[in-house]
Chains A and B, each alone.
Chain A
Amino acid sequence: MSELKQELKEKIIEQLNLEDVSVDEIANNDPLFGEGLGLDSIDALELIVMLDKDYGIRLADPKEGRKIFESIDTMAAYIEANRSN
Chain B
Amino acid sequence: MNRSDYHIKSYCRIRDGKISKDGELLFSDASEEFPAFIKAAYKHFETDYSKFFKMDNLSKLAFMGAEVLLRGNDEENTALILSNRASSLDTDRKHQAAISNPKGGFASPAVFVYTLPNICMGEISIRHKLYSENSFFIFAEFNPHLLSNYTNDLLETGKAKEVLCGWVDYDKEKYDAFLYVIGKKGLLAHNTEGLTKLYRTK
Contact = CB atoms under 8 A, between A and B. Distances in A.
Contacts of B39: 19
A45 B50 contact: no
A12 B53 CA distance: 14
A34 interface: no
Contacts of B25: none
Given A17-B110, A45-B109, A53-B106, A38 B54 contact: no
Contacts of A45: 109
Interface residues of A, number: 15
B109 A18 contact: no
A19 B39 CA distance: 10
A41 to B, nearest CB: 9
Contact of A46 (B50, B51, B53, B108): B108
A40 B122 CA distance: 15
A20 B53 CA distance: 9
Interface of A: 15-20, 38, 40, 42-43, 45-46, 49, 52-53
Interface of B: 39, 50-51, 53-54, 104, 106-110, 113
